[in-house]
């Protein structure tokens, strides 16, 4: 079974600065998807970014980008120009293609953006 590890339970960053959240995973699959979800205090889970393992190019969504290192099984999230609204729990997740009944989540990283 696939496992997802987020080794940073909590992090903080000053507003306007950059922060990187770490995620590693374990799988024997060669093709899969990786995700970062954001859970603000409102509780709703929001998809931030998605990466297909077969793509070498790192995914980017506005201020959010990933550093996908397939050989190292690492998938970190970089948030640039941090904003107060970025304060949330961030979950890394893994899923095999066409198998969305088996998405595995990490334990989460609580990010606080300080003014």
Which residues bind to another protein, rule: CB under 8 A? Answer: 4, 9, 33, 35, 42-47, 50, 91, 93, 95, 97-98, 100-108
User: Which residue's CB is nearer to another protein, number 18 or number 55?
Assistant: 55
User: Which residue's CB is nearer to another protein, number 61 or number 102?
Assistant: 102
Shortest distance in whole angstroms from residue 77 CB to another protein: 15
Shortest distance in whole angstroms from residue 32 CB to another protein: 10
Asked if 37 and 91 count as a contact pair (C-beta separation under 8 A), the reply is: yes
Both tokens of 43, joined, read 């509780």
Shortest distance in whole angstroms from residue 15 CB to another protein: 26
Neighbouring CB atoms inside 10 A of 11's CB total 15
Q: Where are the beta strands (DSSP E) in the chain?
A: 3-5, 10-14, 19-21, 24-26, 33-39, 46-52, 60-61, 64-69, 74-79, 88-95, 104-105, 109-114
User: Which residue's CB is nearer to another protein, number 3 or number 69?
Assistant: 3
């Amino acid at each position: 079974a696939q496992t997802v590890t987020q080794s940073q339970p909590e992090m903080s960053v000053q507003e306007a600065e950059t922060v990187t959240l770490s995620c590693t995973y374990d799988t024997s699959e060669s093709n899969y998807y990786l995700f970062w979800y954001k859970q603000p205090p409102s509780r709703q889970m929001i998809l931030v970014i998605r990466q297909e393992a077969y793509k070498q190019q790192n995914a980017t969504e506005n201020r959010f980008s990933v550093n996908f290192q397939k050989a190292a099984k690492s998938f970190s999230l970089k948030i640039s120009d941090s904003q107060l609204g970025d304060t949330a729990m961030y979950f890394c997740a893994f899923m095999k293609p066409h198998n969305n009944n088996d998405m595995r989540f990490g334990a989460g990283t609580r990010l606080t953006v300080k003014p």
